[in-house]
């Protein structure tokens, strides 16, 4: 890997790289939020949150998802009586699941999703999933994971969901090496990667999660997987426990990240150097051309990341190296040193990294630094704009196709737009 990318920080420096660790008020979503995109991705899955009115209100509010009149998610709201007797709560849950499956015969996979209250009262959803599976299997597979705020931050909900899905994957039928791309991607991005891997002669290639839950990819010692998202610690561990091998790589954001990511697969599948260059070069050149106008707008501008999705470090690497932005502070809710090792090598040595959050202290630092652009959650954006700062909503980075060569410029545009807008408005 290192032969193909020029690191700016030597390994010894990397180990010494200081990371500010904070605990205090966190202005982040909990893992339940992942349901908003996961229920669109896995098209025959239903997500039943077992939680409180707050959980239901969060999912409804987080992304303004009311566009889906009857979505494939719902909340079983715990009431006073459920808290008093867990036996009753289990009966109630069985009743609700039965009602739900009767209403939605199209559902093939049901996730029981744990929440803060269900975990604090120790409602055992894994046992509930086993119990209910006995009734509804094989028509409906029932799994469980936790999206609670006491366990998970925002995108960790996807990690927990995918990790729960790994044991359901069948064993491989043959000894042939296969590539698995792990992490929910926009369909259009998946299709582009399929074409690219095909052109490189890498295959078979499958995606996890699949769009159809009954077509889970096989996982075994012959599986080599590429993480498409940086927040999949538990999923990677579960895959490794099945004998699958992770291909270490930066994440496919920007031209450089996408190239290195594809390169990791190419190396693992013995693709000739010449072939790799021949196949990828036209796409790289086109993406570099598309990025050029954004580079003009963004070069030299300073940027500050509040922690949100764990995408912050790969994004910062892209903005710093391909668009010449200045990194003031890069905050991440959680720093997975192993999965991000290749990313960290590419970051400028001087960047301030922070993990966790004390939002008041971080706001103080941000206001002192007065960066040209602040990447933050929806709760902070308007207050910071009112202070005269320019902001980019971080949630858009999770809900937009940003991976791969063809999306590199779209990704740059997301950062340029707030600055362009600020410049356009008269007052």
Q: Taking the complex as a whole, how short is the minimal distance between the CB of residue 48 and other proteins, in angstroms?
A: 8
Which of 86, 150, 292, 299 is the binder for other proteins (CB under 8 A)? 150
Site string for other proteins, 86-115 (x = CB under 8 A): --xx--xx-xx--xx--x------------
Which of 16, 379, 399, 420 is the binder for other proteins (CB under 8 A)? 379
- CB closer to other proteins out of 143 and 363: 363
Tokens of 275: 């072939």
- CB closer to other proteins out of 15 and 387: 387
- CB closer to other proteins out of 55 and 169: 55
Using a 10 angstrom Cβ sphere, with 0-12 exposed, 13-18 middle and 19 or more buried, the burial of residue 93 is: buried
Beta strands 373-376 and 391-393 are parallel
Give me the count of residues in the chain: 427
When asked if residue 374 is in the footprint of other proteins (CB under 8 A), the reply is no
- Asked if residue 20 lies in contact with residue 365, where contact means CB atoms within 8 angstroms, the answer is no
Which of 9, 27, 332, 397 is the binder for other proteins (CB under 8 A)? 27
CA dist 64 and 46 (Å) reads 19
When asked if residue 142 is in the footprint of other proteins (CB under 8 A), the reply is no
Q: Taking the complex as a whole, how short is the minimal distance between the CB of residue 157 and other proteins, in angstroms?
A: 10
- Asked if residue 48 lies in contact with residue 113, where contact means CB atoms within 8 angstroms, the answer is yes
Q: Taking the complex as a whole, how short is the minimal distance between the CB of residue 24 and other proteins, in angstroms?
A: 7
Q: Taking the complex as a whole, how short is the minimal distance between the CB of residue 354 and other proteins, in angstroms?
A: 16
Which of 2, 6, 25, 174 is the binder for other proteins (CB under 8 A)? 25
| Residue showing tokens 């892209």 | 318
CA dist 322 and 298 (Å) reads 10
CA angle 190, 192, 198 (to 5 degrees): 100
Candidates 64-72, 166-174, 267-275, 322-330: pick the segment binding other proteins (CB under 8 A): 64-72
- Asked if residue 310 lies in contact with residue 333, where contact means CB atoms within 8 angstroms, the answer is yes
When asked if residue 191 is in the footprint of other proteins (CB under 8 A), the reply is no
Which of 187, 195, 360, 370 is the binder for other proteins (CB under 8 A)? 360
Which residues inside 195-214 make contact with other proteins, applying CB under 8 A? none
Which of 7, 71, 220, 401 is the binder for other proteins (CB under 8 A)? 71
Candidates 34-42, 56-64, 161-169, 277-285: pick the segment binding other proteins (CB under 8 A): 56-64
Which of 57, 237, 289, 337 is the binder for other proteins (CB under 8 A)? 57
Preceding amide of 138 cis, omega within 30: yes
CA angle 172, 192, 213 (to 5 degrees): 40
Q: CA-CA distances (angstroms) from residue 210 to 59, 120, 131, 265?
A: 23, 32, 25, 19
CA dist 328 and 340 (Å) reads 19
Q: What are phi and psi of 393, to 5 degrees?
A: -70, 125
- CB closer to other proteins out of 117 and 250: 117
| Residue showing tokens 């036209």 | 282
Which of 36, 45, 46, 52 is the binder for other proteins (CB under 8 A)? 52
Q: What are phi and psi of 286, to 5 degrees?
A: -65, -40
CA dist 65 and 193 (Å) reads 28
Which of 5, 8, 60, 406 is the binder for other proteins (CB under 8 A)? 60
Q: Which residues bind other proteins (CB under 8 A)?
A: 24-33, 52-54, 56-58, 60-62, 66, 69-71, 74-83, 88-89, 92-93, 95-96, 99-100, 103, 116-117, 119-121, 148-151, 153, 360, 377-383, 385-386
């Amino acid at each position: 890997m290192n032969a193909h990318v020029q690191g700016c920080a030597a390994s010894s420096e990397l180990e010494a790289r200081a990371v500010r660790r904070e605990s205090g008020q966190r202005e982040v979503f909990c893992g339940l939020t992942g349901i908003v995109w996961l229920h669109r991705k896995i098209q025959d899955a239903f997500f039943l949150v077992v939680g409180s009115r707050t959980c239901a209100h969060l999912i409804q509010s987080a992304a303004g998802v009311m566009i889906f009149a009857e979505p494939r998610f719902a909340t079983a709201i715990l009431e006073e009586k459920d808290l008093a007797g867990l036996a009753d709560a289990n009966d109630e849950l069985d009743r609700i699941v039965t009602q739900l499956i009767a209403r939605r015969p199209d559902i093939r996979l049901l996730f029981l999703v744990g929440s803060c209250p269900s975990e604090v009262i120790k409602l055992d959803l894994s046992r509930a999933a086993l119990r209910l599976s006995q009734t509804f299997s094989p028509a409906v597979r029932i799994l469980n994971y936790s999206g609670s705020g006491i366990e998970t931050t925002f995108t960790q909900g996807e990690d927990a969901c995918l990790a729960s899905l790994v044991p359901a994957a069948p064993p491989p039928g043959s000894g042939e090496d296969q590539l698995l791309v792990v992490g929910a991607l926009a369909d259009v991005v998946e299709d582009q990667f399929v074409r690219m891997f095909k052109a490189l002669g890498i295959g078979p290639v499958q995606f996890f999660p699949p769009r159809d839950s009954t077509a889970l990819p096989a996982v075994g010692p012959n599986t080599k997987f590429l993480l498409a998202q940086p927040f999949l610690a538990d999923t990677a561990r579960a895959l490794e426990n099945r004998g699958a091998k992770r291909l270490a790589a930066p994440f496919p954001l920007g031209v450089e990240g996408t190239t290195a990511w594809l390169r990791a697969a190419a190396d693992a599948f013995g693709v000739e150097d010449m072939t790799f260059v021949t196949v990828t070069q036209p796409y790289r050149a086109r993406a570099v051309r598309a990025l050029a106008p954004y580079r003009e707008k963004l070069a030299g501008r300073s940027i500050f990341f509040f922690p949100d999705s764990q995408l912050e470090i790969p994004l910062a690497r892209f903005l710093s190296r391909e668009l010449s932005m200045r990194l003031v502070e890069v905050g991440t809710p959680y720093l997975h040193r192993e999965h991000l090792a290749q990313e960290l090598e590419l970051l400028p040595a001087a960047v301030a990294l922070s993990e966790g959050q004390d939002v008041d202290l971080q706001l103080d630092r941000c206001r002192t630094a007065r960066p040209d652009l602040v990447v933050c959650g929806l709760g902070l954006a308007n207050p910071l704009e009112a202070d005269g700062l320019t902001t980019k909503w971080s949630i858009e980075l999770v809900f937009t196709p940003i991976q791969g060569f063809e999306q590199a410029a779209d990704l740059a545009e997301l950062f340029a737009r707030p600055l362009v807008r600020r410049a356009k408005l008269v007052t």
